Structure 1
Amino acid sequence: MTLRIAFTPGATPDKWARAWRDRRSESLELLPIEESEQRSVLDQGRADMVLARLPVEGDDLLCIPLYEELPVVVVGLEHPLSVYDEVSVADLADEQFVLGVPAEVSAASPQLDFPPMSTRDAIEVAASGTGVVVVPLSVARLHHRKDVVHKVVTDLPSTRIGLVWLKDSDDDRTQAFVGVVRGRTARSSRE
């Protein structure tokens, strides 16, 4: 039976998938999803587990936090912030945000109405010099372009990636994948 692991943009399941395939005879399927689908893929049975950007709400879930991601602002090469080593929320106060305004940034600055768009499209708009985008570092790397740079925003909270699954689906297979993610060896007594 195939273990299906969904993953949100920027999450990197490769090292765990390789370890699984080296140790286990059961097949593993990796399913890229949008962040908005993290919960629904579990509820709909399309995935057994999700490498998700936390939090994912629900008392019926099990979760192992894995790592934190730094927030970055993505700007075009000609943008004044492109020469900074890092930026603060205060540096972003007068910026035009293409994809949502972080709560920590003053929303008092004039905002254009951008239509809903993907992160990739938002970064393309930022490349044109029309605005800026704040995303986790892994997402900025995923959508890297030669005409943009990203700078760490020092005083925004980091985001976390975690492994999430339904309590009702907790079984030997999910626990075996938990063991892989936690770095247990094939000879571990918990494996």
Structure 2
Amino acid sequence: MPELEARELECFLVLGEELHFGRTAERLYLSQSRVSQLLRSLESRIGARLVERTSRRVRLTPLGASLRDELAPAYTALLDVVEAARARARGVDGVLRIGFVGSLDEDLTGLVRAFERDHPGCEVRTVEVPLADPFGQIRDGDVDAAIVLAPVREPGLVPGPAFSEAPLSLAVPARHPLADRPSVPAEELAGHPLIRIAGPAPRYWRDVQSPTATPGGRAIPSGPAAGTIQEALAMVAAGRGAMPLCVPTARRHVRGDVVFVPLTGLPDSALTLVWHRDRATARVRAFARAVAGAVQHEAPDAPVQGAGAVRG
């Protein structure tokens, strides 16, 4: 229905209730002349008078009264349909709990702020999840979704597209033999123990984040297991092992007793948004769409900052 026709019908129905051009104009926030213009336009479309107006009163013609009686229920039903759609759209409100491991960088924080601007009725609360259990709070319903490191092959959990792909660095003690190297090939990890990630994180996921063998199949010695990034870095600083971390994470954890050296020969790390298949609410789906939109706008060939060793 064209907008003008809808306005004409609305004006006619209100006038049919009020039977007064002044009160009709007030209800519709229009001038009386505009009310008269809309009424004349509708009468022209129909081809007959709908309202009789004298200096003393306003009344509907028989045709006008019949049109009002037939039109009012249909018009009310149409408004109800529109309002129901608006209510469904407003389903993206309330609190959305998003888990994350370690810390949120500026891009992810910006994504959260943009999402809240686009959905003013929704508040995003970020919740840190442990490195050793990235999926537990999603399964338990403590968070609605979580931003975790890929890969994700968990029954019942739905991963979104990968994003924030970044090369790896190797965290080593400041006085480690590799600390002054421009880069470290992955094959050399066979000579240095790595800090492992504690359970209950699944084995396949832990082995990707802290590999047990080089790309060539050589075994990598195991160091102690850590439950958080801070625990892992404390172990690195104490000389108990090295730890692969993506370059952005390394930049957010600069400290004087740990050096981050570029690590080559392993796939880039990547993040993904994960949620439970049975708890995909309107809020979760909307946030997943926002993440997917951000992924599409990422520049695939943009250089990654911080390719050299990061020192405290």
Q: Tell me the TM-score normalized by structure 1.
A: 0.80
Q: For residues 224 and 152 of structure 2, what CA distance do their matches in structure 1 show?
A: 27
Match of 1:43 in 2: 139
Check conservation: 1:98, 1:114, Cα contact below 8 A.
Answer: yes
- Unaligned 5+ runs, structure 2: 1-93, 198-209, 295-312
**Cα offset, 1:30, TM superposition:** 0.6
Higher helix proportion (structure 1 or 2):
2
Q: For residues 283 and 154 of structure 2, what CA distance do their matches in structure 1 show?
A: 22
Q: For residues 235 and 99 of structure 2, what CA distance do their matches in structure 1 show?
A: 28
Q: From the superposition, tell whether residues 82 and 52 of structure 1 become closer, same or farther in structure 2 (CA, over 3 Å).
A: same
1:182 to 292, 296, 304: 292
Match of 1:156 in 2: 266
SS of the equivalent of 2:115 reads helix
SS of the equivalent of 1:37 reads coil
Q: Relative contact order: is structure 1 or structure 2 higher (C-alpha 8 Å, sep ≥ 6)?
A: 1
1:9 to 86, 102, 106: 102
Q: Does the alignment pair 1:73 with 2:170?
A: yes
Q: From the superposition, tell whether residues 166 and 67 of structure 1 become closer, same or farther in structure 2 (CA, over 3 Å).
A: same
Match of 1:189 in 2: none
Q: For residues 144 and 227 of structure 2, what CA distance do their matches in structure 1 show?
A: 28
Check conservation: 2:195, 2:226, Cα contact below 8 A.
Answer: no
Q: Runs ≥4 in structure 1, deviation > 6 angstroms?
A: none
Check conservation: 2:102, 2:229, Cα contact below 8 A.
Answer: no
Q: For residues 212 and 264 of structure 2, what CA distance do their matches in structure 1 show?
A: 15
When the two structures are aligned, how many residues end up with a matched partner?
182
Match of 2:122 in 1: 26
**Cα offset, 1:44, TM superposition:** 1.0
**Cα offset, 1:163, TM superposition:** 0.7
Amino acid aligned to 2:95: T
Check conservation: 2:171, 2:259, Cα contact below 8 A.
Answer: yes
Structural RMSD (CA)? 2.6
Match of 2:151 in 1: 55
Deviations 1:152-172 (A, max 9, x none): 211122222101112222232
SS of the equivalent of 1:81 reads coil
Q: From the superposition, tell whether residues 136 and 61 of structure 1 become closer, same or farther in structure 2 (CA, over 3 Å).
A: same
Match of 1:99 in 2: 196
Q: Tell me the TM-score normalized by structure 2.
A: 0.51
SS of the equivalent of 1:67 reads strand
Higher strand proportion (structure 1 or 2):
1
Q: For residues 58 and 168 of structure 1, what CA distance do their matches in structure 2 show?
A: 13
Q: From the superposition, tell whether residues 95 and 46 of structure 1 become closer, same or farther in structure 2 (CA, over 3 Å).
A: same
Q: From the superposition, tell whether residues 161 and 11 of structure 1 become closer, same or farther in structure 2 (CA, over 3 Å).
A: farther
Q: From the superposition, tell whether residues 108 and 36 of structure 1 become closer, same or farther in structure 2 (CA, over 3 Å).
A: closer
Deviations 1:132-161 (A, max 9, x none): 222333433333212221112111222221
Deviations 1:21-57 (A, max 9, x none): 2221211111011133322212211111111112233
SS of the equivalent of 2:178 reads helix
Q: Does the alignment pair 1:88 with 2:185?
A: yes
Identify which range, 79-88 or 34-43, moves more after superposition. 34-43
Check conservation: 1:38, 1:52, Cα contact below 8 A.
Answer: yes
Q: For residues 29 and 143 of structure 1, what CA distance do their matches in structure 2 show?
A: 23
Report sequence identity in percent.
24
Deviations 1:31-89 (A, max 9, x none): 01113332221221111111111223334232212232322211122222122221102
**Cα offset, 1:130, TM superposition:** 4.5
